[in-house]
Amino acid sequence: MDAVRLTLIMAQLPVVAVLVVGIMLLVTRRATLAPRSARLALAGCVTVLVGTLGSLAWSLAIPVLITDVGLSNLAVLSFVVGGTLMLLEAAGLGLLIAGVLAGGARAPSAAPAAPAASLV
């Protein structure tokens, strides 16, 4: 494996690790979260993970594709694949934000009852 590919992989490892740990935490602590919030956050993490792995795979495939499809065709292909991966990651971030916000507003704390007025 050449240095460029190794660098690409090493640059994405922290992001992949955070997403995998996030998915594991969401799955194991699902009962403590609002159901809708947990579903949205889990879908967001998985979507961002898929997008990140897709971007990594695309970056690793470009050198091979240059020789296979040529530079002119690669430009169009890169536009389509890159745009799709960008939208996928943006959608995943949107789902994560929605998961945070879907937890619902906290119920206001009950005010202490006023003492009963005496009729003295």
Please tell me the pTM assigned to this model: 0.80
Which sign, positive or negative, has the C-alpha torsion 59, 62, 64, 68? positive
Mean pLDDT of 87-116: 78
Place of tokens 């065709």: 73
pLDDT 10s digits, 60-99: 998 888 888 878 888 889 999 999 999 999 999 999 999 9
Top-confidence residue, 19 or 112: 19
**pLDDT score, position 43:** 97
Residue 77, token pair as written in the block: 């292909």
**pLDDT score, position 108:** 55
Domain boundaries of the chain, sorted by first residue: 3-101
Mean pLDDT of 10-34: 94
- Residue 81 makes CB contacts below 8 A (sequence gap 6+) with 58
